[in-house]
Structure 1
Amino acid sequence: MPEIIIYTSNLCPYCTMAKRLLSAKGATYTELNVDTTPGLREEMVQKTRRRTVPQIYIGEQHIGGFDDLRALDLKKGLDPLLVLR
């Protein structure tokens, strides 16, 4: 399984839903909380050009937020990304 990075913040329901979806797929991920680590939000914005959380990476591919992740799953595009290549 490729490395999964998810930028999150405290009390973010979309972050919770994204983590729940990934966990349901059996995926493990590294959570980076932008509220607790100084400079992490700026890093996220610079990498993704987005200010909202969650921001999800699967391997080197930026997926986007929860809505993007869910749409990818509904199109049957998430499972293939979770398989080690």
Structure 2
Amino acid sequence: MLTYYIPLKNPRLEPVVAIGSAYSLYHWDLGYNKGTLTDFNVGGGMGLNLRFSNDFRAGINVLFTNGFVADYQADDMRVVRRKLLVMPALTFDILL
């Protein structure tokens, strides 16, 4: 994801916004039939990091992505509809 750190006057707080892509590789096996379903879509996020030093940040973010719901149709697994997924994420940035 491409991430932009929003500058503030407070050196310890670092708001972030991000945009990127999500690639899904879903392997399914029903015993008598199997296959792989792939999906590519756009996602993004926003959150707040605490800056402990120039080399270490930690925070909490909320990630959004355009996910999918799959179903078995006509001897194959297919994407039947889209679904917005919202997921919390803890972040640890360590620069070596």
Q: What TM-score do the two structures reach when normalised by structure 2? A: 0.21
The structure with more helix, counted as a fraction of residues: 1
Q: What TM-score do the two structures reach when normalised by structure 1? A: 0.23
The structure with more strand, counted as a fraction of residues: 2
Structure having greater relative contact order (Cα 8 Å, sep ≥ 6) = 1
